[in-house]
């Protein structure tokens, strides 16, 4: 199997990146992580990149033309698939259009509910009975593209933002790889 050259975008802890690195070491997993792009110099996720010697580029999203720098690197590393794993910046139209149906994102809610930021606060305020995570294709609207995989759990009385995040991320570690396998199942 020829693995798809994939770039993972991160901004922080990188636990989904770590999980995807582990999955991609399996010869039957459809992607190889050929590049990581990060927009936060202090992101803990960078430690995984260093540990596994994955090419890595820091992008300063406050700089003009930073999108061109991203595109340049995606071309340089011949990237054909992109995973957004906790990348807290909206991807520009130019990149979305260049990689149509080739960018997926993991979001910590049951989309279309609770798009955007501060998801867990809003879930608690809204007294939701269930929540979970969603992996979806990225289009030009925020957290909006076609859904690939959703995973659900029911809230418990004592849940707070911390417990919700933990429970959601445990599901993300299954949902993201499953979504990638689903995307490439018929390729
Ligand atoms: C993940 O839980 C992901 O769902 C969320 O950021 C976290 C990153 O964790 N993404 C978003 O909120 C995007 N809107 P990680 O850095 O440990 O993988």
Q: What is the pLDDT of residue 1?
A: 85
Beta strands in 94-163, from DSSP E residues, in sequence order: 103-107, 130-137, 147-154
Label residues 41-59 b or e (16+ Cβ within 10 Å = b).
Answer: eebebbebbeeeebebbeb
Q: Tell the residue nearest (CA) to atom 3 of ligand 1.
A: 86
SS3 163: helix
Of 73-77, 78-82, 88-92, 109-113, least confident by mean pLDDT is 88-92
The residues that bridge with 9 in the sheet, in sequence order, are: 37, 84
Average pLDDT on 41-60 reads 97
Q: What is the mean pLDDT of the chain?
A: 97
Residues with active-site annotation: 107
pLDDT tens per residue, range 103-142: 999 999 999 999 999 999 999 999 999 999 999 999 999 9
pLDDT at res. 102:
98
Q: Which of 10, 12, 16 to probe ligand 1 with, by most ligand atoms within 8 A of CB?
A: 16
CA 102 to chain centre: 12
Mutate to test the pocket of ligand 1, among 33, 85, 117, 131 (most ligand atoms within 8 A of CB): 85
Question: d(Cα 47, Cα 16) in Å, to the nearest integer?
Answer: 13
Q: Distances in Å between the alpha carbon of 66 and those of 34, 94, 119?
A: 20, 12, 27
Q: List residues near ligand 1 (CB under 6 A).
A: 10, 12-16, 45, 85-86, 106-108, 169, 172
pTM as predicted: 0.97
Index of the ligand 1 atom closest to the CA of residue 14: 16
């Amino acid at each position: 199997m020829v693995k798809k050259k994939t770039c993972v975008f991160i901004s922080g802890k990188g636990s989904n990146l770590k999980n995807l690195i582990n999955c991609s070491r399996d010869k039957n997993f459809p992607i190889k992580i050929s590049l990581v792009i990060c927009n936060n110099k202090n992101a803990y996720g960078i430690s995984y990149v260093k540990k596994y010697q994955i090419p890595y580029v820091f992008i300063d999203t406050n700089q003009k033309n930073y999108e061109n720098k991203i595109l340049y690197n995606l071309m340089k590393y011949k990237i054909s698939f992109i995973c957004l794993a906790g990348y807290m910046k909206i991807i520009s139209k130019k990149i979305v259009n260049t990689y149509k149906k080739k960018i997926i994102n993991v979001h910590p809610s049951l989309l279309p509910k609770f798009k955007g930021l501060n998801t867990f606060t809003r879930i608690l305020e809204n007294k939701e009975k269930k929540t979970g995570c969603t992996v979806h294709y990225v289009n030009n609207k925020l957290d909006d593209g076609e859904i690939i995989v959703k995973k659900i759990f029911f809230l418990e009385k004592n849940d707070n933002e911390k417990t919700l995040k933990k429970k959601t991320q445990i599901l993300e570690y299954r949902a993201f790889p499953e979504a990638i396998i689903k995307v490439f199942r018929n390729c």
